[in-house]
């Protein structure tokens, strides 16, 4: 082998390029060469780790006695190698090692500088870009453009020149910004941010390789030492290297005995990150590998077919691996996204259950993981254990993180009113808007505020309100104690976290499963990310402080979960084609191959035109199609994704006209279908409806359908066979298979009434009397857990009732208070929140209009008046009734009688006749006549003067409320109502509970299983 030889090894997926490099390294070392003389460079840290594992295994096999220790790693990513060069250069000069800044930190610095530009008028930025300067997206885009320039050796002055020549003012501005950025980074290197003594240069990932090249150019001895050391230079996936990394390889190759560049121009898919496969087209000897040792023949043929349409000179034919197994490629076009999810779920479950493929040997590749969230959810529901990156916003947007940061901020610089309320209503305090209002009201009696409650002396509060206040106080106190003892920010954060109890709470929720578990896991991931950030901040910053940490976190835009998180054990990976590089699976599903999504030919580079800048640097004119290179990169991405499959490849897409927009398959789909079938007729692609998924619930459902089918509907032999299979599943413990657990088949546990006895007293609220009168079955269901989760509408109803109880407030004041609490109400969407706010403003206005309009006839006695007492003694075998509750408003009419007012927020008023029969109003009147009102300016023996239902949910044309009246109770009526409440109370005994169809059925939580609506049908 002659000196300074460069050899290229080209080949498609699985052709053994990486294995060949590992073998070359192992052979060299086994031949007695110093291990430090071998360097294997890869495009990324993840691939370096895989190659390192393979090389170590090969060396251990070759030399079971053990290996000699090497000072420099044999396998490194290009960036890691560049960092090593800089560290050596610094050591030779007696300087501290270089300091790395993450992309998020760079974004933070860029955003600070842009904010400063805006303060100064941002005059050098084009006017149309100024509104975007403060956005996170712009900072990221600017960093990307500057990185691309660094990778191509374009300095800020040159960038400004190119911008002027090309008439692109945004590039001139970016060049000026880059000058400023460089100066600031130099300044930070010499004085530090929070550490005046720091003198370590701070480098971003894009600067590393350029800085290493500069170091090698400036220090001839360093370059000579590196060249003398590295005798065998191996480069894997060379198509992923950017121009600067390629230059570094060339610099090193100039001194090595042999350089082997392995790669595949047909899998060059990091163009958006500046990668360029140019290194692989150098004029040097080439070995082309044509046989894939990974892909089965059917898959290799399909890959060759897709590669045939690529521009350029890369390989065109890929042979499949040896052996009898042909493998398979299937293309399925589904009639809906639901059907596509069912196809994928069924294929994965069959591969695992029928063919015995481990879950970890199955993968789903999608062009965009965030766009495939619904597919991921559907797979989970169908019983496929998936491992997909968690979608989520920046760390600081997580409510748990926000609360902890608020605690740290309060510890550093005190609490204000807004932060105090935010802490109470956040995950630590967990106070809902209604309780917050009650707390404010309770505190107002002693002239104190929520802030006083958290920071002043502890004070007596009702138990339900005291608990959250105490919890927040103890978290604040724990953080303050730690800070007061001069512990570093990590310790203070830990103290607050530990005292909050959130860890136990979220871990418990995560263990329970369901939607809450997913939320709890996201919260835990976000808090873990906050601890990581804090750890990194403290480790890198001498003199780290709480305020420094808060500033640091505020400028970061990090997702809660690291993008390169290690895959979990036995799960199916759902990932992007880029994340799938370097890995392979028995079965791969490429899902969501849709028009507009894959190929995605939207020009990259955004408002700064980064892609156009690269084209200018490459000498391409405006007339060159921007779409063609993107289309080619998307095709290469498809090849890379297909090449991950060893045995089976399933490609799915949706063709549907349903919904707002039609969903069309990608242009790749007919091409793939032809390749998969060997048929040139694409009409063979028929739309597939959702197949029955091979999941326990679906199978049990189908078997039960046969077993329980009406006589003559199924063949008796089939019924017996289904029963036999069900019995097998029941014996294996599959949920729902055992008839013991089927609804309606178990025997009644008791026929006894819920209570008995002649002198039994039943305690009811007036609204319960109404429910019992309307439908005893609904009462039973709701009383025993048959209500849904507390809905937003119910919270809003409570807020409105609390507001209208404030007699002294004007409409404007009530609306202002409503707007104050609105942000804390958990709406699903902003448009709905805005709509509801308007509706509730109108309600409050309607109420105050009604109040004004009725003052000539009614005088307010009080609001939220409690009642508690016996209104009907036991009689005639019926129970006695004690009523307990609260009346919205009590008024006195011109004759001195007491009038009940009940405020309703429902949108539909009851009829006038129904109001006369309204049980709730009737019970209130009975309570007045029996003198069981607890307090207020009224007395036992007061005459009831009737009741009024005030419907504010549907204001009249004049903006007032709709009123419905119940006449004053006469002596005869009193007995009638007494009997009615006794009858309602008697209905609570059971054991039979009647289902009575009524106007409220449409809102009844058990309507789907109600016998009055379903002719006795059982729930499915
Ligand atoms: S749907 Fe109607 S009849 Fe059935 S339980 Fe509910 S309220 Fe009663």
* Binned average pLDDT, 10 residues per bin, the chain of 1020 residues: 71 88 86 85 73 73 58 76 87 78 74 83 85 80 85 87 90 91 70 44 74 88 90 89 87 89 82 68 82 92 90 80 87 89 93 92 87 79 73 68 92 88 89 78 80 83 82 93 87 91 84 64 82 78 77 64 47 87 92 87 75 78 69 89 94 79 84 82 71 83 89 89 93 85 74 82 88 90 68 75 85 86 71 84 90 89 86 85 89 89 88 90 89 65 86 81 89 84 88 88 82 56
In ligand 1, the atom with minimum distance to the C-alpha of 1006 is 6
Q: Whose CA is nearest to atom 2 of ligand 1?
A: 1001
Question: Which of 773, 783, 997, 1011 has most ligand 1 atoms within 8 Å of CB, for mutation?
Answer: 997
pLDDT for the residue numbered 444: 77
Q: In this structure, are residues 246 and 232 in contact, taking their beta carbons and an 8 Å threshold? A: no
Question: Which of 782, 998, 1015, 1017 has most ligand 1 atoms within 8 Å of CB, for mutation?
Answer: 998
What does the alpha-carbon distance between residue 689 and residue 337 come to, in Å, rounded to a whole number?
Answer: 10
pLDDT for the residue numbered 610: 84
Q: Is 301 in the pocket of ligand 1 (CB under 6 A)?
A: no
Distance 922 CA to ligand 1 centre (A): 22
914, 377, 304, 861: which is closest to 638 by C-alpha? 304
DSSP output for 29-78: HHTT--GGGEEEEESSHHHHHHHHHHHHHHHHHH-TT-----SS-SEEEH
Distance 774 CA to ligand 1 centre (A): 9
Q: Is 1009 in the pocket of ligand 1 (CB under 6 A)?
A: no
Question: Which of 999, 1004, 1008 has most ligand 1 atoms within 8 Å of CB, for mutation?
Answer: 1004
In ligand 1, the atom with minimum distance to the C-alpha of 1001 is 2
Q: Whose CA is nearest to atom 7 of ligand 1?
A: 1001
Q: Is 1007 in the pocket of ligand 1 (CB under 6 A)?
A: yes
In ligand 1, the atom with minimum distance to the C-alpha of 996 is 3
User: Would you call 865 exposed, middle or buried from its count of C-beta atoms within 10 A (0-12, 13-18, 19+)?
Assistant: buried
Distance 921 CA to ligand 1 centre (A): 22
Distance 773 CA to ligand 1 centre (A): 12
What does the alpha-carbon distance between residue 156 and residue 139 come to, in Å, rounded to a whole number?
Answer: 17
Question: Which of 770, 776, 777 has most ligand 1 atoms within 8 Å of CB, for mutation?
Answer: 777
What does the alpha-carbon distance between residue 496 and residue 549 come to, in Å, rounded to a whole number?
Answer: 15
Q: Is 853 in the pocket of ligand 1 (CB under 6 A)?
A: no
pLDDT for the residue numbered 867: 85
Sign of the CA dihedral with 592 first, then 594, 599, and 604 last: negative
What does the alpha-carbon distance between residue 332 and residue 676 come to, in Å, rounded to a whole number?
Answer: 11
Q: Whose CA is nearest to atom 4 of ligand 1?
A: 1010
What does the alpha-carbon distance between residue 43 and residue 241 come to, in Å, rounded to a whole number?
Answer: 6
Q: Is 1001 in the pocket of ligand 1 (CB under 6 A)?
A: yes
Q: Which two tokens stand for residue 201?
A: 């240069």
Q: Is 778 in the pocket of ligand 1 (CB under 6 A)?
A: yes
Distance 405 CA to ligand 1 centre (A): 48
Q: In this structure, are residues 611 and 602 in contact, taking their beta carbons and an 8 Å threshold? A: no
Q: Is 777 in the pocket of ligand 1 (CB under 6 A)?
A: yes
Distance 984 CA to ligand 1 centre (A): 16
Cis peptide before 35, with omega less than 30 degrees from 0?
A: no
What does the alpha-carbon distance between residue 295 and residue 12 come to, in Å, rounded to a whole number?
Answer: 10
Q: Is 1006 in the pocket of ligand 1 (CB under 6 A)?
A: yes
Place of tokens 């309703």: 904
Q: In this structure, are residues 382 and 695 in contact, taking their beta carbons and an 8 Å threshold? A: yes
Determine the Cα angle at 571 with ends 568 and 573, to 5°.
85
Distance 786 CA to ligand 1 centre (A): 12
pLDDT for the residue numbered 198: 45
Question: Which of 774, 1011, 1012, 1016 has most ligand 1 atoms within 8 Å of CB, for mutation?
Answer: 1012
CA contacts within 13 A on the Cβ side of 526: 27
Distance 905 CA to ligand 1 centre (A): 21
- Cα distance between the two ends of the chain: 75
Q: Is 775 in the pocket of ligand 1 (CB under 6 A)?
A: yes
The distance of Cα 710 from the centroid of its chain, to the nearest Å, equals 45
Q: In this structure, are residues 497 and 503 in contact, taking their beta carbons and an 8 Å threshold? A: yes
In ligand 1, the atom with minimum distance to the C-alpha of 1011 is 4
CB atoms within 10 A of CB 856: 8
Cis peptide before 595, with omega less than 30 degrees from 0?
A: no
Helices (H), 602-711: 610-617, 627-642, 668-677, 696-707
Q: Is 996 in the pocket of ligand 1 (CB under 6 A)?
A: yes
563, 552, 423, 444: which is closest to 496 by C-alpha? 423
**For residue 243, is it left (φ>0), alpha (ψ between -120 and 50) or beta?**
alpha
Q: Which two tokens stand for residue 266?
A: 């047909």
Rounded-to-10 torsion of CA 805, 809, 811, 813: -110
Strands 386-387 and 572-575, how do they pair?
parallel
Q: Is 1010 in the pocket of ligand 1 (CB under 6 A)?
A: yes
Q: In this structure, are residues 896 and 937 in contact, taking their beta carbons and an 8 Å threshold? A: no
Distance 1012 CA to ligand 1 centre (A): 7
What does the alpha-carbon distance between residue 883 and residue 773 come to, in Å, rounded to a whole number?
Answer: 15
Helix (H, G, I), strand (E, B) or coil at 379: helix
Q: Is 90 in the pocket of ligand 1 (CB under 6 A)?
A: no
Residue 966: CB partners within 8 Å, gap ≥ 6?
Answer: 915, 916, 918, 921, 922, 925, 946, 947, 948, 949
pLDDT for the residue numbered 157: 92
Q: Is 104 in the pocket of ligand 1 (CB under 6 A)?
A: no
Q: Is 1004 in the pocket of ligand 1 (CB under 6 A)?
A: yes
Question: Which of 772, 774, 1010, 1014 has most ligand 1 atoms within 8 Å of CB, for mutation?
Answer: 1010
Distance 1011 CA to ligand 1 centre (A): 8
pLDDT for the residue numbered 72: 57
Distance 764 CA to ligand 1 centre (A): 20
25, 26, 437: which is closest to 256 by C-alpha? 25
Could you tell me the maximum CA-CA distance found in the chain, to the nearest angstrom? 119
Q: Whose CA is nearest to atom 5 of ligand 1?
A: 778
Helix (H, G, I), strand (E, B) or coil at 618: coil
b/e 577-614 (16+ beta carbons within 10 angstroms → b): bbbbbbebbbbbbbbbbbbebbbbbeebbbebbbbbbb
Task: Give the length of the chain.
Answer: 1020
In ligand 1, the atom with minimum distance to the C-alpha of 777 is 5
pLDDT for the residue numbered 661: 60
865 beta partners: 887
Q: Which two tokens stand for residue 443?
A: 């505190």
């Amino acid at each position: 082998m002659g000196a300074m030889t460069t050899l290229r090894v080209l080949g498609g997926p699985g052709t053994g390029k990486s294995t060949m490099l590992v073998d070359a390294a192992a052979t060299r070392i086994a031949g007695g060469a110093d291990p430090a003389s071998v360097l294997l460079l890869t495009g990324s840290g993840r691939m370096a780790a895989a190659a390192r594992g393979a090389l170590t295994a090969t060396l251990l096999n070759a030399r079971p006695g053990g290996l000699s220790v090497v000072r420099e790693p044999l396998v490194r990513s290009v960036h890691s190698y560049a960092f090593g060069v800089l560290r050596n250069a610094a050591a030779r000069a007696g300087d501290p090692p270089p300091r790395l800044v993450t992309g998020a930190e760079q974004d933070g610095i860029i955003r600070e500088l842009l904010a400063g530009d805006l303060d100064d008028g941002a005059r050098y930025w084009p006017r149309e870009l100024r509104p975007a300067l403060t956005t996170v997206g712009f900072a990221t885009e600017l960093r990307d453009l500057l990185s691309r320039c660094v990778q191509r050796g374009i300095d800020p002055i040159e960038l400004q020149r190119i911008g002027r020549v090309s008439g692109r003012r945004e590039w001139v501005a970016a060049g000026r910004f880059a000058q400023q950025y460089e100066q600031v980074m130099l300044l930070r290197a010499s004085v530090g941010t929070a550490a005046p003594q720091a003198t370590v240069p701070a480098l971003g990932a894009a600067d590393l390789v350029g800085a290493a090249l500069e170091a090698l150019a400036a220090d001839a001895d360093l370059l000579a030492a590196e060249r003398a050391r590295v005798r065998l230079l191996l480069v894997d996936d060379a198509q992923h290297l950017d121009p600067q990394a390629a230059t570094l390889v060339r610099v090193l190759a100039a001194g090595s005995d042999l350089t082997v560049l392995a790669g595949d121009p047909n899998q060059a898919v990091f163009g958006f990150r500046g990668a360029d496969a140019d290194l692989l087209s150098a004029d040097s000897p080439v070995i082309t590998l044509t046989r894939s040792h990974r892909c089965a023949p059917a898959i290799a043929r399909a890959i060759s077919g897709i590669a045939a349409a690529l521009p350029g000179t890369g390989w065109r034919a890929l042979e499949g691996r040896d052996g009898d197994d042909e493998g398979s490629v299937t293309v399925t076009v589904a009639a809906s996204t639901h059907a596509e999810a069912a196809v994928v779920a069924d294929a994965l479950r069959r591969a695992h259950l029928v063919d015995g493929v481990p879950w970890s040997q199955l993968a789903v590749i999608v062009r965009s993981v965030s766009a495939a969230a619904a597919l991921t959810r559907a797979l989970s529901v169908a019983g496929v254990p998936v491992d997909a990156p968690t979608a989520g916003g920046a760390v600081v947007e997580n409510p748990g993180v926000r609360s902890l940061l608020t605690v740290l901020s309060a510890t550093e610089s005190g609490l204000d009113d807004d932060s105090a309320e935010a802490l109470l209503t956040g995950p630590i305090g967990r106070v809902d808007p209604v309780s917050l209002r009650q707390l404010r009201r309770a505190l107002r009696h002693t002239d104190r505020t929520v802030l006083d409650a958290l920071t002043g002396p502890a004070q007596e509060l009702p138990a339900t309100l005291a608990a959250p206040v105490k919890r927040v106080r103890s978290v604040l106190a724990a953080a303050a104690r730690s800070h007061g003892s001069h512990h570093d920010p990590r310790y203070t954060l830990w103290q607050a976290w530990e005292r909050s109890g959130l860890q136990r709470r979220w871990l418990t929720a995560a263990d329970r499963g369901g939607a809450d578990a997913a939320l709890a896991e996201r919260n835990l991931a976000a808090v873990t990310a906050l601890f990581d950030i804090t750890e990194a901040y403290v480790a890198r910053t001498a003199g780290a402080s709480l305020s420094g940490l808060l500033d640091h976190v505020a400028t970061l835009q990090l997702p809660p979960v690291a993008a390169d998180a290690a895959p979990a054990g036995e799960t199916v990976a759902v990932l992007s084609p880029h994340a799938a590089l370097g890995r392979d699976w028995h079965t791969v599903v490429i899902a969501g191959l849709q028009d507009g999504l894959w190929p995605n030919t939207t020009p990259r580079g955004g408002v700064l035109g980064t892609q156009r800048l690269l084209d200018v640097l490459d000498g391409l004119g405006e007339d060159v199609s921007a779409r063609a290179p993107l289309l080619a990169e998307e095709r290469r991405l498809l090849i890379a994704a297909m090449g991950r499959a060893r045995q089976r490849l399933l490609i799915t897409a949706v063709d549907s006209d349903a919904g707002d927009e039609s969903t069309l398959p990608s242009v790749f789909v007919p091409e793939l279908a032809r390749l998969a079938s060997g048929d040139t007729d694409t009409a063979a692609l028929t739309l597939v409806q959702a197949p029955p998924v091979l999941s326990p619930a679906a199978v049990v459902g189908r078997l039960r359908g046969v077993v329980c089918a009406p006589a003559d509907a199924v063949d008796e032999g089939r019924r017996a066979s289904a029963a036999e299979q069900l019995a097998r599943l029941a014996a294996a413990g599959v949920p729902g298979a055992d008839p013991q657990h089927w609804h309606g088949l178990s025997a009644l546990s008791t026929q006894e009434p819920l209570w008995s006895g002649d002198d039994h007293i039943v305690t009811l609220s007036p609204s319960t009397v109404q429910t019992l009168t309307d439908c005893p079955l609904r009462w039973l269901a709701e009383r025993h857990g048959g209500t849904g989760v507390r809905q937003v509408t119910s919270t809003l109803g409570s807020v409105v009732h609390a507001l209208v109880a404030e007699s002294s407030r004007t409409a404007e004041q009530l609306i202002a208070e409503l707007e104050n609490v609105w942000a804390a109400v958990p709406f699903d969407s902003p448009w709905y929140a805005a709509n509801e706010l308007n509706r509730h403003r109108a309600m409050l206005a309607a109420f105050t209009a009604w109040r004004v309009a009725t003052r000539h006839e009614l005088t307010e006695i009080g609001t939220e008046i409690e009642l508690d007492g016996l209104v009907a003694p036991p009689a005639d075998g019926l129970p006695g009734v004690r009523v307990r509750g609260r009346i919205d408003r009590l008024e006195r009419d011109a004759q001195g009688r007491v009038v009940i007012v009940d405020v309703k927020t429902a949108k539909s008023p009851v009829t006038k006749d129904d109001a006369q029969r309204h049980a709730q109003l009737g019970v209130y009147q009975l309570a007045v006549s029996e003198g069981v009102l607890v307090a207020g300016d009224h007395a036992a023996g007061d005459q009831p003067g009737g009741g009024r239902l005030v419907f504010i949910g549907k204001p009249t044309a004049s903006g007032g409320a709709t009123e419905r009246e119940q006449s004053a109770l006469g002596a005869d009526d009193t007995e009638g109502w007494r009997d009615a409440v006794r009858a309602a109370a008697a209905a609570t005994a059971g054991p039979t509970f009647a289902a009575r169809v009524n106007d409220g059925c449409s809102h009844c939580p058990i309507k789907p299983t109600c016998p009055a609506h379903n002719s006795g049908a059982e729930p499915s």
